[in-house]
Amino acid sequence: MARETYKDFDATELYCPRCKRAVRVRKRLLIILPQGEKYDYSCEHCGTTVGDKLVTMKDSARIVLR
């Protein structure tokens, strides 16, 4: 699994390893954790998860990417 850091993860297009090109993604709330809300980004075409992000509640401006 690719571990890249995206500065702006709310971009409408991300690279999909399955489609082998930049694709439009769907953002959805995956789970609410004690440390914040985790969002999942999946490819609009094949549904492959292309990334996720954790938005902390303490400081919503700080986005931690894994």
Position closest to Zn ion via CB: 43
C-alpha span between 22 and 34 (Å, rounded): 32
Nearer to Zn ion, 39 or 41 (CB): 41
Starting from the edge strand earliest in sequence, which strands make up the sheet with 36-43, in order? 13-16, 21-33, 36-43, 49-56, 63-65
**Which part of the chain contacts Zn ion (CB under 5 A), choosing from 2-10, 14-22, 29-37, 52-60?**
14-22
Nearer to Zn ion, 11 or 32 (CB): 11
**Quick check: 24 binds Zn ion (CB under 5 A)?**
no
User: Alpha helix (H) ranges present in the chain?
Assistant: none
The contact set with Zn ion (CB under 5 A) reads 16, 18-19, 43, 45-46, 48
